Chain A
Amino acid sequence: SQQGEEDPQALSIQEGENATMNCSYKTSINNLQWYRQNSGRGLVHLILIRSNEREKHSGRLRVTLDTSKKSSSLLITASRAADTASYFCATAPWGNNRLAFGKGNQVVVIP
């Protein structure tokens, strides 16, 4: 089954800096989604980008999708300490709504 693979796995930045995470996948997708998980909590949906879209914005989040390279990136601008969390990408294939998750990126924002 296809999976998202995030890169890098861990990121430590200063508050106010931008954080960029990448995700690659192997097969054709219906959409790609990014989720955030705070320690010991559930997953919070951040943004969904469809396969026919190239870029989406939501507040301080910017997601790009390059289907030719089978990759996506998540940019968090002007990071805050509250952005400290694990970030997961997940892909949905055509034909069913089954998400395949990557192993996640641990982001630490230092105040």
Chain B
Amino acid sequence: DAGITQSPRYKITETGRQVTLMCHQTWSHSYMFWYRQDLGHGLRLIYYSAAADITDKGEVPDGYVVSRSKTENFPLTLESATRSQTSVYFCASSEWTGGFFYNEQFFGPGTRLTVL
């Protein structure tokens, strides 16, 4: 399917387990992002990537690991899940067209993660 997809859409796990959320985009966008959305906090950036093999921390990176070996994929791993990581996770991508200005971000449908 064209666009940006996330899997799984829903996940329930237990404290201490490792969880990987997948994100895939078909546009070959340079930028990819991971956000979490929590009531009272809005969306907060976890990690982002400007290109394959280039990643950087966002506002709330602790407890998360990312990798980007291919342009189209940007998995997010919770190494040892905690209850505070219960949230809705959104992946996004953005095209880099050069120049001074950035472009809009396109969001995936989200993954609802519950950590028991």
Contacts and interface: CB of A to CB of B under 8 A. Distances in A.
Interface of A: 1, 30-31, 33, 35, 41-45, 48, 50-51, 88, 90, 92, 96-104
B102 A92 contact: yes
Nearest to A5: B42
Nearest to A93: B102
Nearest to B39: A103
B84 to A, nearest CB: 19
B102 A31 contact: yes
B106 A45 contact: yes
16 contacts: A1-B59, A35-B107, A41-B109, A42-B107, A43-B90, A45-B104, A48-B103, A48-B104, A97-B31, A97-B105, A98-B45, A98-B58, A101-B35, A101-B42, A102-B42, A103-B40
B43 interface: yes
Contacts of A100: 45, 59
Interface string B89-111: 01010101000111111111110
Contact of A44 (B33, B35, B107): B107
Main secondary structure of the interface of B (DSSP, over half): strand
A88 B43 contact: yes
A98 B48 contact: yes
Given A43-B107, A97-B96, 9 more contacts: A30-B100, A30-B102, A41-B110, A42-B90, A88-B42, A90-B43, A97-B105, A98-B48, A99-B33
Contacts of B109: 41-42
A77 to B, nearest CB: 21
